[in-house]
Structure 1
Amino acid sequence: MRKPRWYPKGLPEAKPALTPENAEAKRRPSRSRLHLRPRKDHTLAELLKLAEGLEWYGLLVTAQKEFAAQVILERYGLATYVPCRHEWRRRSKYSKAKEVKTYAVAPRYIFAGFKPGTPLWFDLFNLPLIHAAVGINGTPKPVPTVAMAQLLRKTGGGLSAPDAHRFMKTHHEFAAGDEVEVTGGPFSGWKVPVKEINGGTATVIVQLFGGAVETLDLPLELLEAAE
């Protein structure tokens, strides 16, 4: 038999009934929030529309904490933007399978949008993970509107690595036209140029003894970018 639940200071107060009025107030944020972490469901037009009318500054944050700093600034009521790249990385050191992971394009830097006027830098720098603002001679300078629009157009949907990278050795990826080194099989140690990449294989050009030139299809996992 379960023991009764005791409340030393009396029974807890009953919560007010949920009505359309207080439900709407609960949904409505207390501050104007705008979170511009790029996602695949954000179109370029939506990003440009959300970002217009604001003064954007580059902020220096703690290394590898760009997205955490973004959440803190968003809770403070600021618009934020972190240019991202999507890379194929192993799920763990125990697994060879890869999945797409998101990283900041410019490590340690994020962008914050303010309403026109002088931002409250003292309050901003008291927030966790925020260290400084990008500027000249110690004075923060806003990013030109044209430059910010160009950045959004270039990175608004995130920079995605080719699907073929999922089969390549991490940090040794390559593209058609690059020279690669064969790491396994009868041609191990050879350095050959890549003609094209199809799915999980690459067509390479091999110069055999006697000057004969042949093309071979090799698995991507047996190739890595030559140093």
Structure 2
Amino acid sequence: MSMMGKIEAQELQWFAVRVKRKQVGGIGRATVGGEFEAYRDREGRVRKRRISGTGTRVFLPEHILKRAGFQVFLPVKKVMKRRNRFNPERICVSQPLLVDWMFVGWPVGERRWHQLMALDVVSGVMGTGGHPVAIPEARMLQLMRQWGGGQLDANLHQRVKAAQDLRPGDLARVVAGPLQDHDLRVVEVTGPSVKGLMALLGGEIPVEVRAELLQPAVR
């Protein structure tokens, strides 16, 4: 904790990133992983193929960016569509809300532009005057709550859930960091941060804690 009473977790900076459109309809899907079997083609050569029903369907640019170590948020919407052209059954599926945009984040203080732009799936970043425009994390949490579609990674889900669960007047417990297991009374929730009062050294000290470091205290 600093002299200002602020406890930091890993704060993220977010940017709107445009991905390259390699097919009609924008961001495409692919199957990754799964189980494979060997077979011989018509010319007798040994080949491998994925066993039907195995593997995970992913949005390809999102998958590549995550593999490169970036935090990624792809807003999605739920739509009903036919299972396939041979089966009229309609199922609910997730589709990207934006045709070729997603949000990419990394820790504040790190410079990862070279790594980002070196990826073959990225075509540009939203900005003004030749400079990228960072999106406030509080705004990102709002977007994740509205358009996450139940597909957020565990760490992003925890950030969203932590900010939702606490209200002014609540008693919260610090679950990580230098003040782990101490309680505080919530005064204000401002996006990813929570301001509160903590009983220390015989008095109440104002502190500011990242929301994901807190959980409602058991009374």
Alignment TM-score, normalising by the size of structure 2: 0.45
- Name the structure where strand makes up a greater proportion of residues: 2
Higher relative contact order (CA 8 A, sep 6+): 2
Alignment TM-score, normalising by the size of structure 1: 0.44
Task: Mark the structure with the bigger radius of gyration.
Answer: 1
